[in-house]
């Protein structure tokens, strides 16, 4: 589908998309983060709006301007992202978790800057698990017939790990990217396979992130009641 001239096949639908990467604060000047650019999530937001959807974009640390035609919620950490997704999800026909969520966060937030001590070789930082937002929203389905889409970046056994992850998360579609040093993160293009809970496997050849986004929406539209 050409952008701007898209068929309005998401008209009347509300989609919630998370994009970017969470930052887990350690102290007032430091955080644990990741390299997600947010470009794929923004491409999903633009293409959904072009296809007529009402779009809520939950943005974490992308530094990008709000896309036209979307309601944007800005968050920082995984726990803030969870709050925003849980708040928006009950009104959504589709929830897409394109954000890279930190698996762990510092166990405590230090109100003052953490200082090292003389002779201290071990980092004074303990980590605890973050909630799994995708698994939680897939299990809860706050709106009947709602579809949930996840993303997965894998470096090895890409399809087998993706299939396992799809089952473990309980989502309807999982977009699986093969990642490595020079692949995907921050780039303008993407290459992926979209796995579906009904056993489907849709390869998406290397191309602009809008192309992958439109394939996701095609698969979503085919599954919406």
Known binding-site residues for CTP equal 103, 113, 131-134, 151, 165, 169
Q: Active-site residue 34, yes or no?
A: yes
User: Residue written as tokens 């799809």?
Assistant: 166
The option from Ca ion, ligand CTP, none interacting with 152 (CB < 5 to 8 A, set by class) reads ligand CTP
Give the residue numbers of the binding site: 103, 113, 131-134, 151, 165, 169
Site for ligand CTP in 161-200 (CB under 6 A): 165
Closest approach of Cβ 214 to ligand CTP, in Å? Answer: 19
Q: Which residue, 94 or 102, has its beta carbon nearer to Ca ion?
A: 102
Binder of ligand CTP out of 43, 60, 84, 97 (CB under 6 A): 97
d(CA 3, CA 169): 31
Binding residues vs Ca ion (CB under 5 A): 103
Interface with ligand CTP, residue 153, by CB under 6 A: yes
Q: Mind spelling out the 3-state secondary structure of the chain?
A: CCCCCCCCCCCCCEEEEEEEECCEEEECCEEECCCCCCHHHHHHHHHHHHCCCEEEEEEECCCCCCCCCEEEEEECCHHHHHHHHHHHHHHCCEEEECCECCCEEECCCCCCCCCCCCCCCCCCCCEEECCCHHHHHHHHCCCCCCEEEEEEEECCCHHHHHHHHHHHHCCCEEEEEECECCECCCCCEEEEEEEECCCCEEEEEEEEHHHHHHHHHHHHHHHCC
Q: Which residue, 15 or 101, has its beta carbon nearer to ligand CTP?
A: 101
Q: Which residue, 53 or 152, has its beta carbon nearer to Ca ion?
A: 152
The option from ligand CTP, Ca ion, none interacting with 97 (CB < 5 to 8 A, set by class) reads ligand CTP
Interface with ligand CTP, residue 42, by CB under 6 A: no
The option from Ca ion, ligand CTP, none interacting with 175 (CB < 5 to 8 A, set by class) reads none
What amino acid positions are annotated as catalytic residues?
34
Binding-site ranges for ligand CTP (CB under 6 A): 78, 97, 99, 101, 103, 130, 132-134, 150-153, 165
């Amino acid at each position: 589908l050409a952008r701007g001239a898209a068929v309005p096949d998401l008209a009347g639908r509300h989609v919630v998309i998370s994009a970017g990467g969470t930052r887990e604060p350690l102290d007032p000047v430091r955080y644990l983060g990741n390299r997600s650019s947010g470009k794929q999530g923004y491409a999903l937001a633009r293409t959904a709006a072009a296809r007529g959807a009402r779009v809520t974009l939950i943005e974490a640390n992308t530094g990008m301007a709000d896309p036209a035609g979307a309601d944007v919620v800005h968050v920082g950490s995984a726990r803030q992202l969870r709050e925003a997704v849980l708040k928006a999800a009950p009104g959504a026909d589709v929830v897409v978790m394109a954000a890279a969520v930190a698996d762990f966060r510092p166990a405590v937030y230090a109100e003052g800057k953490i200082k090292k001590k003389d002779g201290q070789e071990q980092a004074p930082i303990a980590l605890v698990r973050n909630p799994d937002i995708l698994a939680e929203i897939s299990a809860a389905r706050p709106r009947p017939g709602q579809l949930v889409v996840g993303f997965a970046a894998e470096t090895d056994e890409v399809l087998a790990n993706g299939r396992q992850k799809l089952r473990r998360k309980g989502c309807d579609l999982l977009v699986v990217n093969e990642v490595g040093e020079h692949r995907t993160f921050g780039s303008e293009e993407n290459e992926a396979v979209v796995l579906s809970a009904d056993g489907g496997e849709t390869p998406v050849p290397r191309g602009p992130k809008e192309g992958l986004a439109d394939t996701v929406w095609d698969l979503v539209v085919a599954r919406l009641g």
